[in-house]
Amino acid sequence: MGFKCGIVGLPNVGKSTLFNALTKTAAAQAANYPFCTIEPNTGEVAVPDPRLTKIAQSAKSAQIIPTRLTFVDIAGLVRGASKGEGLGNQFLANIREVDAIAHVLRCFEDGDITHVEGRVDPVADAETVETELMLSDLESLERRVVPLRKRAQGGDKEAREQVEIMDLALEALRDGRPARTVAVPQGAEDAFRQLNLLTSKPVLYVCNVEEASAAKGNRHSEAVFAMAARQGAKAVVISAAIEAEVAQLSDEEQTEFLETLGLEEPGLDRLIRAGYDLLGLITYFTAGPKEARAWTITRGTKAPQAAGVIHSDFERGFIRAHTIGYDDFVTLGEVKAKEAGKARDEGKEYVVQDGDVLHFKFNA
């Protein structure tokens, strides 16, 4: 479905190191977790999900195909980007194309790596980027709203509705708040989304810490988590330096290396899952002798639209979805789950749940 998470941040915060670790990890796992480089700064990574392996074992599937998330390494931002400073215009254009933002913040001290602002203050860094995005949104809306106001005053109902939505966003931005804080009226969600505002996108703060703080974080990451809590955003702790090392190791070496650092899993796994959750995504599965496969949908998707993720014909000709819950599928297996009455046929109004194992019936 092409869900994209853009990696942003000021220069020298570890953004590119993190992206390179993501791509190297995915490439190293290509046998089981497909990876492809779409462009030099774009890569698809598998979403870690141990449920898929268990489903494959239960179904005796020959192949495992995970669901994927696209990460985009976006050009570093500098103060004044909203006015075109640095690579500002390219930066802002790239952000418009992603569904969510993974904002990498420098949470480590290192005199050998110069900070663009001359200090280590991740909260201030976040505010710098957020301010540039808000200024860009404000300029965009103020330019677009003028002709709409004239049409609205002339009795154009559609223009009047658009102006009402724009005014909500303008009020927030002029008050120094990002567009994602706006309480959008019920039924106006699509109209608000079509404004395509940079600050309406959900944000995940990625605290890039030194190796010694990878397990528990440090005072800088604590400040970021507090900021994220105030905003209703999410944050994760990761050490880009560690991830770059892990990406070069075999699975066995990775486990041993991470254990010496007090880590249960690579930080990239947490980052990928957090990005997935940030986008409001869930996973359903299909399984058989040929393959066990994970599919990505947004939370709240109904069965016909979930079927359409596989192929548009499945949605057009949808009849029903043969459904078994994950726990029942891996505990009993498909045949015994049916015998135990744990399998059910769901119709067009069924809202697919995370972990459902589905088999779609449709008219070709």
Instruction: Mark the binding-site residues for ATP, compressed into ranges.
Output: 12-17
For residue 357, the surrounding DSSP H or E stretch is strand 357-362
What is the distance between the terminal CA atoms of the chain, rounded to a whole angstrom? 22
Q: How far apart are CA 200 and CA 194, in angstroms?
A: 11
- The first and second tokens of residue 201, run together, are 């996108």
Strands (E), 98-254: 100-106, 203-208, 234-238
Q: How far apart are CA 92 and CA 323, in angstroms?
A: 43
Specify binding-site residues: 12-17
Q: How far apart are CA 280 and CA 76, in angstroms?
A: 26
Across the beta sheet with 42-46, what order do the strands follow?
Answer: 37-39, 42-46, 68-73, 4-8, 100-106, 203-208, 234-238
Sort strands 343-346 and 357-362 into parallel, antiparallel or unpaired: unpaired
